[in-house]
Structure 1
C-alpha cells in the first residue's frame, strides 16, 4: 500500500508540474500566474478529496455528487495538457524541419489557445454524460472440446461492475437486465460489484431475482470486492438462501438439463503480495472440489487473474471476470491504462478462454473509448 501511495503521489506531482509548465503556451503575464495558482489549488484539493472518498469507498449520495464535477474537470485538464503537449511538439518539429531562424520576439503561445481547454472539457463531458450510458453488445463463439451435447449452442450473457449508487440506480439495473434478457441468453452471469449502496442493495436484489425467470438456465452470481464495502455480502448470502439466484462462492453447481456442465465461482482475494496468490489458489481449489473430473466448467471470478488458474487446471474452457472496468479509457479498442495483468477483452491460453468485462457502471463516472457492455458467449461443441 505504501508503494502504491508513493507512486500515486509521484504521478500527481509530475502531472501538476507538466500542467504548470505548459500553461505558458496558453496564457502569459498575470493571467498565467493566476492560472497556475488556480490549477495548483484545484488539483491538490481535488486529488486529496477523491483519494479520501475512494479510500473510504464513499461514492454514493453527496459524495457522488461531488465526485462527478471533480473528475470531469480533472480529466478535462489532463486532456488539455495532452493536446497542448502534442501541439507544442508538432510546432517544434515543424520549425526544425523548415529551419526557421531563431526569433526572440516569436510568439511563444499557441494560436487559438481557447480551443485547447474547450476541447478537453467537451471530450470529458462526452465521457461523463454520453459514452458511459451507451451500452454496446459483444458476441463471441467459444469452441469447447467434449462439451455435453445438451449444452451445445447454449448462450451465456455477462454483466459486471454495476456499482449501484449515485451513478447507477435500481431502475437503471432493471433496464439493463431487461435488455440482457431480450438479447436471447440462456444464462446470465453476474461477476460481482453490483451491491454497492446500502440504501439500494435490498431493492436491487429483488429486481435481480425477479428476472431469473427470463433466463432458461438461470442467473449465476459470484461476489466482488465492493460487496464487502457497503453491506453487500449479507444481500448475496440472502440471495443464496432464497435460491432464485445461483450464488457460486468458492463452490460449483451443475446446470440442470445441460449434462455434465458446471458453473463455478470464487470469492475475491483481498490478500496482497505472495499471500494473494496463495489465497487465490485456495479459493479456486475450493470452487472446483465438487466438480467431477470429466465435467466441463465455466468459471465466474471477479478478479481477472483467475484466468490463469482456469487455464492451468484444464477442463475450464471459459472464465468470465470483471473488476478492471476495462480501465475506463481506451484507444482503438485497447485499454489506455493497462494496470492489471488482464485489463480488457478476450484472453486465449491453450484451450481455455478468459474474458475481462468492461463493466456496466462505475464509481469513476466517466468513460472514453471504453463503453459499458453486455457480452454474449455461445458454447459450440468441437470434435476434439
Structure 2
C-alpha cells in the first residue's frame, strides 16, 4: 500500500469518531447552553422609550427534550438581566400532558418581568390542541397577542402579535401573511406604527412588518438551522434563518430557539435575545 493511500485511510478512520464526538457534544452540551445576546434598537425620540428592554425566547418545544423544570430555569435566566418585558414568539406549548403545567409556570413568571409577558402563536401550539391551551392562558396574566395589539402599560410602546399562516402555496402565503400583519396592527393608529414591536412566529413576516414601517419584528420558527459554523447556518431552509436582518428601515430578528425537535445543536446554541430601545 502506498504512503498516500495509507494516510487517506488513516484519516478516514477518524471520521466516525469525529461525527460521534460532535454529535455527543451537540446532544449533551451545546443544546443545553443558553447564550445571551444583547442588541440596541433605535426608536423615535421624545417617546420616553430609551432604556426599555425586551427579552425574547422562542421555540421551547416543551416535551421529551425540554422539561417543565427546564422552562422554569429558562424564565429565571431570562429575568436575571432585568428586562422590562418578556416576549415568547411561539412553539412553547408542544406537549399535551405538560402544557397545563407550563401555563401555570409562565403565569408565575410574570412577576419576574415588570411590564409583563407577551405571547404570539406558533404552528406547534395549533398541533397540540391550541383551543385547550388558549382557555388556560385566558385565565392568567400572560398577554396573548394573536391578531391584535396592546400598548404596554406606562409606556408609549405598542406590542402587536400576528397569527400563523398555514397556507400551502407561495402566493396564498404572501397574501395571508400580509393580511395577518395588517390585522395585528389594526388597533394601532397608523402614526404610531413606528413605536411598535411586531411579534410573529414565521420569519418572512419580517418583510410585511417592514413594509408597514414597524421598527422591530421578532420571529423564530427556524431554530437557526440548529447546525452552523462561524455564525452561519448550514441548513439554510428559509429566506431569513438566524439573527438580525435589515429590511428597508426596519430590523428583523430570527431567534435560534431555546429547545429543539432534533435534540442536537452544533454551532447554533439556544439563546435569550435582549433588545434595548434607544433614541
Q: Is the 8 A contact 1:147 1:380 kept in 2?
A: no
Could you say which residue in structure 2 is the equivalent of 1:262?
Answer: 158
Displacement of 1:236 after TM fit? 2.9
Q: Is the 8 A contact 1:198 1:232 kept in 2?
A: no
Where do 5+ consecutive residues of structure 1 fail to align? 1-102
Displacement of 1:304 after TM fit? 0.4
Query: Any idea what the Cα deviations from partners look like across 1:69-114, whole Å, max 9, x if unmatched?
Result: xxxxxxxxxxxxxxxxxxxxxxxxxxxxxxxxxx7x9659612543
Could you say which residue in structure 1 is the equivalent of 2:150?
Answer: 253
Displacement of 1:294 after TM fit? 2.2
Hey, what's the Cα distance between the residues in 1 that align with 2:268 and 2:200? 21
Q: Is the 8 A contact 1:201 1:232 kept in 2?
A: no
Q: Is the 8 A contact 1:160 1:322 kept in 2?
A: yes
Pairing 1:303–2:202 present = yes
**Structure 1's 231 and 319: CA in aligned 2 closer, same or farther, altered over 3 A?**
same
Q: Is the 8 A contact 1:161 1:191 kept in 2?
A: yes
Helix, strand or coil at the partner of 1:174: helix
Could you say which residue in structure 1 is the equivalent of 2:14?
Answer: 115
Helix, strand or coil at the partner of 2:172: helix
**Structure 1's 147 and 160: CA in aligned 2 closer, same or farther, altered over 3 A?**
farther
Q: Is the 8 A contact 2:103 2:136 kept in 1?
A: no
Could you say which residue in structure 1 is the equivalent of 2:253?
Answer: 355
Could you say which residue in structure 2 is the equivalent of 1:286?
Answer: 183
- Structure number with greater CO (CA < 8 Å, separation at least 6) is 2
Hey, what's the Cα distance between the residues in 1 that align with 2:263 and 2:130? 21
Q: Where is the strand percentage greater, Structure 1 or Structure 2?
A: 2
Could you say which residue in structure 2 is the equivalent of 1:224?
Answer: 122
Q: Is the 8 A contact 1:224 1:268 kept in 2?
A: yes
Could you say which residue in structure 1 is the equivalent of 2:36?
Answer: 137
Q: Taking structure 2 as the reference length, what is the TM-score of the superposition?
A: 0.94
Could you say which residue in structure 2 is the equivalent of 1:38?
Answer: none
Displacement of 1:309 after TM fit? 0.5
Could you say which residue in structure 2 is the equivalent of 1:272?
Answer: 168
Cα-Cα RMSD: 1.8
Pairing 1:332–2:217 present = no
**Structure 1's 106 and 366: CA in aligned 2 closer, same or farther, altered over 3 A?**
closer
Q: Where is the helix percentage greater, Structure 1 or Structure 2?
A: 1
Displacement of 1:371 after TM fit? 0.2
**Structure 1's 271 and 184: CA in aligned 2 closer, same or farther, altered over 3 A?**
same
Pairing 1:213–2:111 present = yes
Q: How many residues align?
A: 275
Hey, what's the Cα distance between the residues in 1 that align with 2:132 and 2:276? 32
**Structure 1's 245 and 120: CA in aligned 2 closer, same or farther, altered over 3 A?**
same
Hey, what's the Cα distance between the residues in 1 that align with 2:52 and 2:5? 67
Name which of 77, 91, 102 aligns with 1:179: 77
Helix, strand or coil at the partner of 2:43: strand
Displacement of 1:234 after TM fit? 2.5
Hey, what's the Cα distance between the residues in 2 that align with 1:133 and 1:204? 19
Q: Is the 8 A contact 2:100 2:136 kept in 1?
A: no
Q: Is the 8 A contact 2:60 2:91 kept in 1?
A: yes
Q: Taking structure 1 as the reference length, what is the TM-score of the superposition?
A: 0.69
Hey, what's the Cα distance between the residues in 2 that align with 1:110 and 1:238? 59
Q: Report matched runs for 1:1-384 at 5 Å.
A: 110-111=9-10, 113-146=12-45, 148-149=47-48, 151-239=49-137, 241-259=138-156, 261-273=157-169, 274-295=171-192, 296-314=195-213, 316-381=214-279
Larger Rg: 1 or 2? 1
Displacement of 1:137 after TM fit? 0.4
Displacement of 1:348 after TM fit? 1.2
Where do 5+ consecutive residues of structure 2 fail to align? none
